[in-house]
Structure 1
Amino acid sequence: MNTLPTKDQIRQWITENPGLTGKRDLAKAFGIKGDARIDLKRMLKELEAEGGLEKKARSYREPGALPPVSVLLVLPPDSNGDLFAQPLEADAGDSPPRILIMPQKGDVALAGGMKILARLTPVGGQDYGYQARLIRALGSNPLKLLGVFRSSAEGGRIIPVDKGVDKEWKVARDHTFDARDGELVEAEQVGPKRLGLPQARITARLGDPNGPRAVSLIAIHQHGIPDQFPDAVIAEADAAQPAPLGKREDLRHLPLLTIDPIDARDRDDAVYAEADPDPKNPGGFLIWVAIADVAYYVRPNSALDREARKRGNSTYFPDRVVPMLPDVLSGDLCSLHEHVDRACMAVQMRIDAHGQKLGHRFTRGLMRSQGSLHYAQVQDAIDGNPDAVTAPLLPILTTLYAAYDALKRARALRQPLDLELPERKIVLSDEGKVTSVAFKARFDAHKLIEECMILANVAAAEELVGLKRPLLFRVHEEPSQDKLESLREVAEASGFTLAKGQVLKTAHLNRLLAQAQGTEFDELMNISTLRSMTQAYYNAQNFGHFGLALRNYAHFTSPIRRYSDLIVHRALIAGHGWGDDGLSAWDVENLDETAKLISDTERRSMVAERDTNDRYLAAFLSERVGNEFAGRISGVQRFGLFVKLDETGADGLVPIRSVGREYFHYDQDRQVLIGSDTGIEIGIGLRVNVRLAEATPMTGGITLDLLNIEGATLPTGRAKPGRYQPRKPGKFAAKDAATKRKVVRKRR
């Protein structure tokens, strides 16, 4: 039986442990479990009502006490030069406590009026109530940068690697961290902002910036992606053992197969299909999708769990992967390797001859993959060229493709957004040098797996909605009206139509893409449609998935590399009573925060992966400066044109100064540049020829010179040799004003 603490004991604990004052912290401290938590909650409410405690953001503290980590306003130095601060809490009172800032070596220099985040320690017997240790300054300085160190007698300078950042940082001699000339370093700003070069101190040395695989290392540090597992996490992973059959359903008789990229680092999912034996479902199929049971190894609130949640997902680069889980799990125990027993979460889905799902059944099982195949290998087998591995599996593959044919019919009826956006693949040598850049081949085998995974994700969402269990939905909202209007203008300028005055559906966008298919505007409409879309994200509330045209959708199929899927697995475990490793009370209580966190980490990984590809492409092209390339305008801005090169898919900038010899007005609504003299319009989708002027591997920047548009050189306008012609933006300013008035009237 749990013994409840007295109210005095609770107050004493909160006083002595200001950082552990949540209800769960208190329950853990006093060993309170089960129903006794209700009594603890009642006692805390009584203390709050009596004025003995106050509650702030799910934690408790003494009335009038400040939280251990607070936002402070720095006051001007006093007569002794000491810095004090006051809390920015709305209820800090008429006489807020005095807080003395205790500076540490290397802290950012503070000045009166700055806002800081600081850790507070109560003190007694002084004329101030707290001491503060700086955590970071808020909203006042770009703290971190990555760059190449250049040494000098006074210390040195740092040349940033970020595209668009051209100001160097100055490093004093005692802040160089013994960095060598030419080394890649991480640094942070020190001292107040002032005119001239910002002051910095080096905090980490990252080695040769031109060394093998330095490109992805730059992205990892630049975007703050955790790439080292704490010792406690590694210890938990190393202690893991294969899951026994126990109460699991034995699925080892099913000839499940994994089909992945040829260079796959982990294998989350396996598939199998068979004709439905039920005579009431002629032409129907039973499709099995089995997914690695990561929840068995990554228990709620374990060190593994906390680290996986912090990372949110795995991040993939051409030369490495930064995994969400240690390799002993992601590459071994959780990965569905062939001919070995593996714990899994599986769903059997019954579809009719038209690919419509008639029902599903989830189970927690033990499986044994009959083959680890790759996409091209499977496609070759189906096309009549099986190899020694796929030949004996051909009957299984044939049935899978038959089931896929049915799923295609359902997809055609549902009409998800059908964009054609080929992916590029960067191939590296063993030394980390780019050997080739090509577009990835896309086979029916890819689409087969995609449709099976989508169906399983839908089943998982529907199952948990039916069980009334909390989960994380994958949400994709419809485009905003402003973005739709921009897309409509691009379509109309290209001779196509996008209907107005109706509830937008993906079918409408697909009709627009079909109009453009095979025309010179094909790529333009695909790019413009993609840019009109909102960013998908995770949410505990279900707002549907616009792009897939689905009402209920959750991520279930990749728990090795996505934390969202692990949450869905835990929800299924809890909903079916399959063990004590299901969704915990803490998981449920913090579901909104988890959704925001992993949505942010997903975007972080996407940006890091894109930046890395840009740098590799710049390195690949740096040896071809002066060469001419064909491409298409992919973006228009006031400062120039973005061009996507056909050969590599690399994006380069044509600065506005090299676009013709006249002033160009930028029409933001239509995304075009308009020549002030000639009236020529330059917009997204036009074919161009360019010359490579510069490629900088360190930043990924590519600069191009424009040679011609649609095979024709740009007119030179009315400019006459030897005579200055002023810019003529006046008539376009009038047009802008008229456009703005029109937009304002519409929005009212």
Structure 2
Amino acid sequence: MTRIPSKEEILEWISQNPTLATKRDIAKAFGIKGSARIDLKRVLREMESDGTLNKRKSSRADREGLPPVGVLQIVDPDHNGDLWCRAIEWRGKGNAPRILLIQRDSDPAVAPGDRILGKLTQANGEDYDYTARIIRQIGHNPQRIVGIFRQGHEGGRIMPIDKKNDKQWIVPAGAVHGAKDGELVEAEQSGSKGRMGLPKARIVERLGDPTAPKAVSLIAIHQHGIPDAFPDDVIKEADAAKPAGLKGRTDLRDLPLLTIDPADARDRDDAVLAIPDEDPKNKGGFLLWVAIADVAHYVRPNSALDREARKRGNSSYFPDRVVPMLPDRLSGDLCSLHEDVPRACMAVEMKIDAQGNKISHRFVRGLLKSIASLAYEDVQAAMDGNPDERTEPLLEPILKPLYGAYEALKRARAVRQPLELDLPERQIVLNDEGEVTSVAFKERFDAHKLIEEFMVLANVAAAEELIKHKMPLLFRVHEEPSQEKLESLREVAQASGLNLAKGQVLQTRHLNQLLKQAANSDQSELINMSTLRSMTQAYYNPENFGHFGLALRNYAHFTSPIRRYSDLIVHRALIKAHGFGDDGLSDWDIEMLEATGKQISDTERRSMLAERDTTDRYLAAFMSDRVGTELAGRISGVQKFGVFVKLDETGADVMVPIRSLGSEFFHFDADAMELFGEKSGTVVRVGQRVTLKLTEAAPVTGGMVGEIVTIDDRAMPKGGRGGKRGPAPRRKAASFKKKAAKTARKVKRTRK
């Protein structure tokens, strides 16, 4: 008996073959012959009567107009943020009709590439032809994956490279795209499940040798969907840009501004200057200048450059490459404050007193010429008494006043008490072939802290200025920790013999007191990591909820518009507030402010995850020749399934599965973050010193696995053998009772 396709299958086929939609075409496609055509005709009539398909004479696609119901594909939103659709069945001779999607709150979320069954209404007198409302989704933008292709008899499989995902994908013979066994590939889901219930995929791009050192960041870029190629219209727009002139700007070229950056800086977007204040009423005070690249001059609202920058949200930095928010013509040239080259800028002059308090500030749109491009290390060496030929002439007139202003800002910081975490930044050093040569922790100089303090103050000034002018903007928001996370931190502190104040409104100074208690002790790293984990994640929002970590009420990112879209929005707001030009905040910018905040907060997290995955893979590659050796570390996390150990030498995290702790059963206490051996009584908790044997290091996934050899200088017990799991020891029973009492108190308070 011939199988008649379902209505969904018919719609899907029509959506993929809009020019072959007659009854004869459909019958041929599904192999329907003879009397079975009668049943197909019945199904098509039902689809026409319920509006799923429009009845036509010669075909099932209207040549001059669109049916009241049809299959549509979502396309990219325009500069106004409106979603548009493409009619899959359009066969007209002229341009395809423009279809605006009208969404209701109850509609499912859709994205470019998704297919819907839509109800179409002609739009007379508008600049579009139809409006569409969603009846239901009939397809999604195909899921994309990155993995290793393994060739088989009929196509092959894609093996995962994500250490958190072990799902394989079947690749049919016709969807291999020429990939060879062992190659890194990008693929997309192509249909229903294949052999053994595995999903099907088709390969869309071959990415080369997965073991090649320079493939590490490429994997993360593709895996996290970070756009790494600029569209032609964006490049064309960037290439057409010309250096800004002095017209309409304040001439700052006589100010001895200079840049201080990492030695390998890819862009230079801030220049600084400190001048001792000659006002006798401000003895010991300074005039601070912070000048930032004027990206808004080149990236105009709703331009191709602007749309691409908003889409990317930020630049993403990897050990071997950067995926910039803006093309190199801007990020590396016109918007980079190179030495001795006139460059457009947005600048703020801030007057501070001897205690580092900001007395006043003023913003200008100017033209500067940096007198020097210095590295942090060179500036610090000069201040430590070892200047070189570049820094020596700058030492007295420029560098010492900068450090004098920094000392004043330190005094204000000590009063404000922002969160003082001590978490050294890891640095992965690569050779020319992209191989890891060393992993170390970056040294932090006063030169780094000086620039950070100047930037923080400039960001505060920008937020305050826009609030004063009642201008819309995106604040950098960092909310205080939740009570649940604080309670977990408090329990970790108590288990370490430390104390976190309770029963009062939490301030950063309370956390700093905890960190100070732990300083220079074996618990220092544990308390710093636990404090960091208790924090909420910062984000961008048009509403001002303050910045808890910095202990600041008003804070907005202003200082890095080359690499952050948020800063570009703040620049535009300042331009509009002061009438600096016609390239300020647009009506669309204002209307979409909340959506933009969410978009760039999401892209920021995406970059962080991609950068973290890349670091994990490089570390695994670096450690792969150390498999079988014993390494020192500290337990940084405890979960029901096992333990995480942070290695002293590299800071790498190694997973210790719970099965490797011994044959006994381990109880997991989430509040205390510890495992408790049922037979041996062994306690495994965060912060303990361990010696670990590395048993696995997989560069492709970035995963590392090990076994604990010693814990707190004692051999790790293997536990009892055999037998059934007995009742929890008294220690655990008491712990469970404590938790039950705590729950009861919460319920009692709630009922009141």
Partner of 2:412: 410
Partner of 2:144: 144
Shift of 1:101: 8.3
Partner of 1:504: 506
Name the aligned partner's letter for residue 481 of structure 1: Q
Change (3 A) 1:672 1:302: same
SS at match of 2:191: coil
Shift of 1:187: 1.5
Instruction: State which of 436, 441, 444 in structure 2 corresponds to 1:442.
Output: 444
Partner of 2:616: 614
Shift of 1:142: 8.6
In the alignment, the residues of structure 1 paired with residue 161 and residue 47 of structure 2 have an alpha-carbon distance, to the nearest angstrom, of 37
SS at match of 1:602: helix
Name the aligned partner's letter for residue 493 of structure 2: A
Change (3 A) 1:84 1:182: farther
The answer as to 2:580 corresponding to 1:578 is: yes
Partner of 1:209: 210
Shift of 1:675: 1.4
Shift of 1:196: 3.0
In the alignment, the residues of structure 1 paired with residue 650 and residue 639 of structure 2 have an alpha-carbon distance, to the nearest angstrom, of 22
The answer as to 2:241 corresponding to 1:235 is: no
SS at match of 1:693: strand
After superposition, the C-alpha distances for 1:155-181 in whole angstroms (9 at most, x for unaligned) are: 111111010322321111011112111
In the alignment, the residues of structure 1 paired with residue 289 and residue 336 of structure 2 have an alpha-carbon distance, to the nearest angstrom, of 17
In the alignment, the residues of structure 2 paired with residue 526 and residue 575 of structure 1 have an alpha-carbon distance, to the nearest angstrom, of 41
Partner of 1:154: 154
Name the aligned partner's letter for residue 557 of structure 2: H
Shift of 1:205: 1.4
Is contact 1:84–1:99 with CA below 8 Å preserved after alignment? no
- Residues 30-429 of structure 1 aligned to structure 2 (within 5 Å): 80=43, 99=70, 117-119=114-116, 137=139, 143-193=143-193, 196-395=197-396, 396-429=398-431
Is contact 1:118–1:132 with CA below 8 Å preserved after alignment? no
Partner of 1:726: 725
Shift of 1:680: 2.8
After superposition, the C-alpha distances for 1:520-540 in whole angstroms (9 at most, x for unaligned) are: 101110000000000000000
SS at match of 1:370: coil
Is contact 1:101–1:132 with CA below 8 Å preserved after alignment? no
In the alignment, the residues of structure 2 paired with residue 87 and residue 612 of structure 1 have an alpha-carbon distance, to the nearest angstrom, of 50
Q: Number of residue pairs matched?
A: 649
Instruction: State which of 532, 546, 556 in structure 2 corresponds to 1:544.
Output: 546
In the alignment, the residues of structure 2 paired with residue 82 and residue 712 of structure 1 have an alpha-carbon distance, to the nearest angstrom, of 79
Is contact 1:101–1:133 with CA below 8 Å preserved after alignment? no
Is contact 1:83–1:101 with CA below 8 Å preserved after alignment? no
Name the aligned partner's letter for residue 624 of structure 1: R
TM-score by length of structure 2 reads 0.82
Is contact 1:318–1:428 with CA below 8 Å preserved after alignment? yes
Partner of 2:714: 712
SS at match of 2:192: coil
Change (3 A) 1:446 1:79: farther
In the alignment, the residues of structure 2 paired with residue 217 and residue 134 of structure 1 have an alpha-carbon distance, to the nearest angstrom, of 36
Partner of 1:460: 462
Partner of 1:484: 486
In the alignment, the residues of structure 1 paired with residue 690 and residue 117 of structure 2 have an alpha-carbon distance, to the nearest angstrom, of 60
In the alignment, the residues of structure 2 paired with residue 649 and residue 521 of structure 1 have an alpha-carbon distance, to the nearest angstrom, of 16
Name the aligned partner's letter for residue 725 of structure 2: P
Is contact 2:117–2:136 with CA below 8 Å preserved after alignment? no
Shift of 1:211: 2.2
In the alignment, the residues of structure 2 paired with residue 728 and residue 584 of structure 1 have an alpha-carbon distance, to the nearest angstrom, of 67
Shift of 1:734: 8.4
Is contact 1:346–1:362 with CA below 8 Å preserved after alignment? yes
Change (3 A) 1:137 1:273: same
Shift of 1:81: 8.5
In the alignment, the residues of structure 2 paired with residue 665 and residue 260 of structure 1 have an alpha-carbon distance, to the nearest angstrom, of 50
SS at match of 2:570: helix
In the alignment, the residues of structure 1 paired with residue 45 and residue 558 of structure 2 have an alpha-carbon distance, to the nearest angstrom, of 56
After superposition, the C-alpha distances for 1:247-293 in whole angstroms (9 at most, x for unaligned) are: 21111111111000111000010100010010000000011000000
After superposition, the C-alpha distances for 1:554-588 in whole angstroms (9 at most, x for unaligned) are: 00000000000000000000000000000001100
- Runs of 5+ in structure 1 lacking a partner? 1-76, 89-95, 106-113
Is contact 1:636–1:673 with CA below 8 Å preserved after alignment? yes
Shift of 1:742: 2.3
Name the aligned partner's letter for residue 372 of structure 1: S
Shift of 1:710: 1.1
Is contact 1:251–1:367 with CA below 8 Å preserved after alignment? yes
Name the aligned partner's letter for residue 688 of structure 2: L
SS at match of 2:197: coil
Partner of 1:598: 600
Shift of 1:346: 0.4
Report the RMSD for the aligned CA atoms in angstroms: 2.8
Partner of 1:647: 649
Shift of 1:740: 4.5
Partner of 2:626: 624
In the alignment, the residues of structure 1 paired with residue 409 and residue 718 of structure 2 have an alpha-carbon distance, to the nearest angstrom, of 55
- Runs of 5+ in structure 2 lacking a partner? 1-39, 53-66, 74-86, 90-107, 122-130
Shift of 1:123: 7.8
In the alignment, the residues of structure 2 paired with residue 637 and residue 482 of structure 1 have an alpha-carbon distance, to the nearest angstrom, of 17
Shift of 1:193: 4.5
After superposition, the C-alpha distances for 1:281-320 in whole angstroms (9 at most, x for unaligned) are: 0000011000000000000000000000000000000000
After superposition, the C-alpha distances for 1:177-236 in whole angstroms (9 at most, x for unaligned) are: 121111111122233347532222212211111224101110110000001101110011
Name the aligned partner's letter for residue 594 of structure 2: D
In the alignment, the residues of structure 2 paired with residue 527 and residue 463 of structure 1 have an alpha-carbon distance, to the nearest angstrom, of 35
Name the aligned partner's letter for residue 191 of structure 1: G
Change (3 A) 1:685 1:78: farther
Shift of 1:507: 0.3
Is contact 1:149–1:184 with CA below 8 Å preserved after alignment? yes
Shift of 1:730: 8.1
Name the aligned partner's letter for residue 399 of structure 2: L
SS at match of 2:307: helix
SS at match of 2:331: helix
Change (3 A) 1:560 1:82: farther
Partner of 1:43: none
Change (3 A) 1:200 1:79: farther
After superposition, the C-alpha distances for 1:329-368 in whole angstroms (9 at most, x for unaligned) are: 0000000000010000000110000101111111001001
SS at match of 1:192: strand
In the alignment, the residues of structure 1 paired with residue 672 and residue 155 of structure 2 have an alpha-carbon distance, to the nearest angstrom, of 50
Name the aligned partner's letter for residue 144 of structure 1: R
Is contact 2:693–2:708 with CA below 8 Å preserved after alignment? yes
In the alignment, the residues of structure 2 paired with residue 549 and residue 176 of structure 1 have an alpha-carbon distance, to the nearest angstrom, of 55
Name the aligned partner's letter for residue 266 of structure 2: R
In the alignment, the residues of structure 2 paired with residue 492 and residue 565 of structure 1 have an alpha-carbon distance, to the nearest angstrom, of 41
Change (3 A) 1:392 1:156: same
SS at match of 1:280: helix
Is contact 1:100–1:131 with CA below 8 Å preserved after alignment? no
Deviates more, 1:385-394 or 1:181-190: 181-190
SS at match of 1:649: coil
After superposition, the C-alpha distances for 1:352-411 in whole angstroms (9 at most, x for unaligned) are: 001011111110010010110011110000000001110111121011001100000000
In the alignment, the residues of structure 2 paired with residue 401 and residue 535 of structure 1 have an alpha-carbon distance, to the nearest angstrom, of 32
